[in-house]
Amino acid sequence: METFVQGLADAWDAITYGVVEGAKWLKVISLVAVALGAVLMTLDLLFTPGRRFKTADRGAQPSDGIVLIGQLMAVSALLGGIVLSFRDTASLWQPVVSLLGGAALLGLLVLYRRADESRRAVLARYVWLALAASSLVAVFLAYQQRADSTIPYVALLGAVFMLARAWFALARPEVHFDSSKAQAATESKTDSPLVVEDLGMIYELPDGGEVEALKDVSFTLEPGRLLTLLGPSGCGKTTLLNILAGFLAPTSGEVKLGSEPITGPGQDRGMVFQQGALFEWLSVNDNVGFGARMNGRSRPASREAVQDLLRIVGLQDFGDKAVYELSGGMQQRVALARCLANNPSIILMDEPLGALDALTREKMQGLVLNLWNETGKTIVLVTHSVEEALYLGDQLFVMAPRPGRIERVYNLPFAREALTADARQLKTSPEFIRVREEILSMIWEMEEQIMGTGGGGAPPTTELSAQASQTFRTI
């Protein structure tokens, strides 16, 4: 065994001898730079006001890549301790420190990787400290072996990287991105109205023709309102929503949030799509916290916010699940939580409940109302369901097609009443039914114009009209 280990050491000597002998000056520069950097980082960490290690929520949790590098460092320390123990030139304390340090670091990292989310948040600080301490020990041992030509310079570079990364995590978590200005801008728009002035949208067709999707659309949506957009297919509901989101530029007119014109997507607006548009390869936690991390929030703060949002939407026990393991209704809850995680001023929803079964859809309607009531967010929701538009909207626009325009505006009491009343009783109340039938008749007349004289085709038969009318009433 001794011969085998000595052979490994000799092989390492042979591999590194040529490189190291040709650049002996690099040895001194590397050790001085690492030592100076370590001293500066330590002084900054311990003595800079407001950056002490004990400060709450300080720094991000180590990523899987950092943990892997740490494990490689631990294994290298164990192998180095074994090699040093068979060398006559090495002192007794060197292999002992290397073996004990490597074993302790490896054990801590294995414990960290197997821990749950809450336990990781507690262990994160100690993992960073252990990585920083191990890097310092590696530098010190390298200094002790400075006369030896087999100093592993790759390990020294790894130690420098780990020291810098630990320093940033423990002492300077805000160094990568300062989101205070963006956050302040978003908060200032929370109480701003959404203003649409003379909006028009024309699509150009490949054959040279044009389709006027929207014409002279104007309205002002006050903060905290829940607006539902309703109308027959082709009336421009989704086009209007995409313009509000900044996905489309209108042909004419202007859209402003407060005094700021909307010219593209922004943090002040969040979008919930019909199919969720989630990242299938990420967990529920990572999907919900994605936007917050992109805005520079530290992982502990982001994880805490994610857990709060998952509790709000009833998914607190599914944070570690993959998206494909969830039902359609649960995926839409994840999409809604992800939207809320960015704290937008306005939430835009494009038929978010259209693909759900009837029971799940009704439960999600209640969730949307509760979130609207608790957060005070402005919400614009597109739907094809008359009943859903009445139930959710405290303001409702009925849109007409060709070109798309606002035909009638309703200010409704049902959304507020639904917060305390039974959903079934509310939807079967005389006033709810009266307004529903009025809107159904209006939309049916629009459909007849499209299919008949307005659409150039024959009007539907009486039997078909009755069936379609009954279908509208059951939506």
What are the tens digits of pLDDT across the range 211-221?
Answer: 999 999 999 99
Q: What tens digit of pLDDT does each residue of 165-179 get?
A: 665 555 444 333 334
Four-residue CA torsion sign, 248, 348, 379, 212: positive
Please give the pLDDT value at position 474: 39
pTM above 0.85, yes or no: no
Pairing of strands 405-411, 395-400: antiparallel
CA distance 277 to 287: 10
Cα torsion 367, 369, 372, 373 to 10°: value is -110
Phi–psi pair at 231, nearest 5 degrees: 165, 170
CA distance 128 to 165: 9
Among the ranges given (29-33, 71-75, 469-473), the one the predictor scored with the smallest mean pLDDT = 469-473
Structure tokens at 125: 């600080």
Residue 432 Cα distances to 94, 358, 366, angstroms: 82, 19, 17
Among the ranges given (71-75, 238-242, 246-250, 254-258), the one the predictor scored with the smallest mean pLDDT = 71-75
Please give the pLDDT value at position 226: 94
**Please, what is the average pLDDT of the chain?**
75
CA distance 136 to 134: 5
Please give the pLDDT value at position 312: 82
Domain range annotation of the chain: 2-171, 188-268+344-474
Please give the pLDDT value at position 471: 41
Q: Of residues 306 and 196, which shows the higher confidence score?
A: 196
Quick one: which of 50, 120, 64 has its CA closest to 303? 120
Q: What tens digit of pLDDT does each residue of 253-304 get?
A: 999 998 889 989 988 898 988 776 888 888 888 888 887 777 666 565 677 7
The 3-state secondary structure of 286-339, one letter per residue: HHHHHHHHHCCCCHHHHHHHHHHHHHHCCCCCCCCCEHHHCCHHHHHHHHHHHH
CA distance 474 to 440: 11
The total of other beta-carbon atoms located within 10 Å of residue 432's CB is 19
Q: 236: exposed, middle or buried (C-beta count within 10 Å: 0-12, 13-18, 19+)?
A: buried
Question: What's the mean pLDDT in 84-92?
Answer: 64
Q: How many residues in the chain?
A: 475
- Quickly name the fold that domain 188-268+344-474 has: Rossmann fold (3.40.50)
Q: Could you give the maximum distance between any two Cα atoms of the chain, in Å?
A: 102
